Amino acid sequence: MSYFTVDNRTLALICQFSCVLFVTFSLLQPLAALAQSPSLTGRWILNAEISTNAADELKGIRKSKRKKHRDPPPANSSDPTSATQERYWQHANEGQQWQRSRELAHAGPIQRLLESANLEIVPSENGYLFIYADGYERQVAPNPGGRVFTASGQEIVESQIGFTLAYVKEPMLFLETRIKEGGQLLEQVSLSDDGNTLTIHIEIDRRDWKWVAKVERVYNRAPL
């Protein structure tokens, strides 16, 4: 009787150990596939010819609060300066409208992502460090198990843009950011088969914008 009890316990331990190995392998497999050559890491140069023109995509996107224009005083036909005053108020209102239109493409910290002519991705302890053209550094910690949340919450990283959840869904790296000003930033990072082209598809949905902006940034791997 004692012999069968020990054997059953051993068998149970073997089964538990096998399950742990299976789960661990399943979680690490996506990250391992992404880490294999070709790799995201390296220096990248923007291919402006095939990338989306961010300024065109964001033109007129911002919701402007309606401001009450100052109306010109009632014209007095007997007053020789009435025509001059009318022209003054007209130009003043046009100037206000022009100043607002200049701000429509303003995207806050996200503007760095949309204007960076080069990009460097280096490996870090928990994932990757994205370094943009102006020196801005952005840490991401991809969860190899997909879009899940761990107890430690290390897959969520705070930056100037907001709180970013990073995860791997083979063969792409996904970045979901809750923007601090309100809204959501989605990024899909993928590599070409030969590893020489990096494509980042960006979608920005902000509460103060009229539509969801969609921008695609295509980078070529920089020569060594």
Q: What is the mean pLDDT of each run of 10 residues along the chain (224 residues)?
A: 51 54 45 57 97 91 63 53 53 43 58 92 93 93 85 85 92 94 94 96 93 96 91
Domain containing residue 17: 8-60+106-221
Domain membership flag for residue 86? no
CB atoms within 10 A of CB 117: 14
Write down the pLDDT at residue 61: 87
Write down the pLDDT at residue 90: 53
List the CATH number of the domain containing 191: 2.40.128.20
Domain membership flag for residue 25? yes
Predicted structure pTM score:
0.66
Domain membership flag for residue 84? no
Domain membership flag for residue 66? no
Write down the pLDDT at residue 74: 55
Give the number of domains in the chain.
Answer: 1
Report d(CA 205, CA 211) in Å as an integer.
Answer: 7
Write down the pLDDT at residue 107: 74
Write down the pLDDT at residue 49: 96
Residue tagged 């979608």 (tokens)? 203
Write down the pLDDT at residue 181: 82
Write down the pLDDT at residue 153: 77
Report d(CA 192, CA 213) in Å as an integer.
Answer: 24
Write down the pLDDT at residue 138: 95
Domain membership flag for residue 195? yes
Domain membership flag for residue 200? yes
Domain membership flag for residue 190? yes
Domain membership flag for residue 90? no
Look at residue 164 and give its three-state secondary structure.
strand
Write down the pLDDT at residue 65: 58
Cβ 64 vs Cβ 210: under 8 Å? no
- By the 10 Å C-beta count (0-12 exposed, 13-18 middle, 19+ buried), 22 is classed as exposed
Write down the pLDDT at residue 189: 97
